[in-house]
Amino acid sequence: MAKLSAKPAKSNAFSENLLKNGEINAKVSEINAEIGEIIAKIREINAQIREINQEVREIPINTHLTNRTSM
């Protein structure tokens, strides 16, 4: 009889662990979604930086020299 009562306890603990794992997985999914949003924002910022860098590259060198000597 003791063995029979031990099995439901193990089964119950297993069910509780499955429930906890499900909750953890849900939280991990939420965090992953937030990370995805952050990565998207970083990509937007990087694109803006690339645009600015391109604009800077297009400034004639003489302008840089003129600005430095006039200071």
pLDDT band per the 50, 70, 90 thresholds, residue 26? very high
Question: How much is the pLDDT for 10?
Answer: 78
Q: Rounded to two decimals, what is the model's pTM?
A: 0.61
Q: What average pLDDT does the structure give for the chain? A: 85
Cα–Cα distance, 56 to 68 (Å, whole number): 16
Q: What is the DSSP string of the chain?
A: -HHHHHHHHHHHHHHHHHHHHHHHHHHHHHHHHHHHHHHHHHHHHHHHHHHHHHHHHHS-HHHHHHHHHH-
